[in-house]
């Protein structure tokens, strides 16, 4: 079942695609649904994508495809190849990516060196939609230099997909003993968890399984030049 807003957004996208062949921008969707911010649009799109109603075309911030409507039971059928005496169907022109920006929560600073307290904040950070995939995201300001060999610098904004699971070798936000957070590579050694830096000046940190809680994994970076 879809919520009323999810249903309204799905219908709005479908109508715009039928009329112009181009999906609406985040700003247009925000105004059509009378939402306060583009982050609400992002959450609705992520929910529709996870439920299989739409999909985002790769590397395009504004290219959406409607796969099915709520009353449908199957996904959109694939067209068969045209007969020899039929003219080929011309593929629709892929629209150029738009500069859509959404706002995600900014939750203070996170250590990329010695762990420091992760401060909870209530501010929002504008982020290009193309940097984020599906799911819920938040941002943390990087403090320290222990991940410089991974291209993560002091002052960068880590864009984090909220999750409590991660595979070996992924860069995660790890909450240590419920108090301090750090950004590191996650690796498992038997029953222990190892948090690896990306700087030879720092040593790996090894903890018991009950001492570390994964709170997200790195989805992207945002860097400002002053």
Q: What is the pLDDT of residues 155-192, one digit of tens each?
A: 899 999 989 989 999 999 998 988 888 999 999 999 99
Which comes out higher in pLDDT, residue 209 or 99?
209
Active site residues: 146, 184
CB 61 within 8 A of CB 97: yes
pLDDT for position 94: 40
* Pairwise CA distance, residues 54 & 192, whole Å: 40
The residues, any chain, with a CB within 8 Å of residue 91's CB and separated by 6 or more, are none
pLDDT for position 62: 59
Residue 95 in this model has a pLDDT that exceeds 90: no
Residue 215 in this model has a pLDDT that exceeds 70: yes
Q: What is the pLDDT of residues 7-52, one digit of tens each?
A: 888 888 888 888 777 788 888 888 888 888 877 888 888 888 888 8
Alpha helix (H) ranges present in 51-99? none
Q: Are strands 101-111 and 137-143 parallel, antiparallel or unpaired?
A: parallel
Confidence of residue 72 (pLDDT cuts 50, 70, 90): very low
pLDDT for position 79: 43
Residue 196 in this model has a pLDDT that exceeds 50: yes
Which comes out higher in pLDDT, residue 127 or 77?
127
In the chain, % of residues over pLDDT 70: 78
Half-sphere exposure of 51 (CA within 13 A, CB side): 19
Residue 59 in this model has a pLDDT that exceeds 90: no
Q: What is the pLDDT of residues 136-158, one digit of tens each?
A: 888 998 988 999 999 999 989 99
Average pLDDT of the segment spanning 83-107? 56
Mean pLDDT taken over the chain: 79
């Amino acid at each position: 079942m879809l919520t009323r807003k999810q249903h309204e957004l799905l219908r709005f996208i479908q109508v715009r695609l039928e009329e112009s062949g181009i999906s609406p921008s985040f700003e247009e969707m925000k105004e059509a649904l009378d939402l306060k911010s583009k982050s609400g649009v992002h959450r609705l799109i992520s929910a529709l994508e996870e439920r299989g109603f739409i999909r985002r075309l790769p590397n395009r911030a504004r290219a959406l495809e409607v796969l099915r409507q709520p009353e449908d039971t199957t996904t959109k059928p694939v067209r068969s190849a045209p007969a020899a005496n039929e003219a080929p169907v011309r593929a629709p022109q892929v629209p150029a990516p738009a500069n859509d920006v959404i706002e995600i929560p900014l939750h203070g600073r996170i250590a990329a060196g010695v762990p420091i307290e992760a401060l909870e904040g209530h501010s929002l950070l504008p982020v290009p939609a193309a940097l984020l995939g599906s799911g819920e995201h938040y941002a943390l300001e990087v403090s320290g230099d222990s991940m410089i060999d991974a291209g993560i610098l002091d002052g960068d904004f880590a864009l984090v997909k909220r999750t409590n699971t991660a595979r070996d070798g992924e860069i995660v936000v790890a909450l240590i003993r419920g108090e301090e957070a750090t950004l590191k590579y996650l690796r498992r050694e038997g029953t222990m968890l190892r948090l690896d830096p990306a700087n030879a000046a720092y040593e790996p940190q090894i903890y018991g399984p009950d001492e570390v809680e994964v709170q997200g994994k790195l989805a992207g970076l945002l860097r400002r030049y002053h």
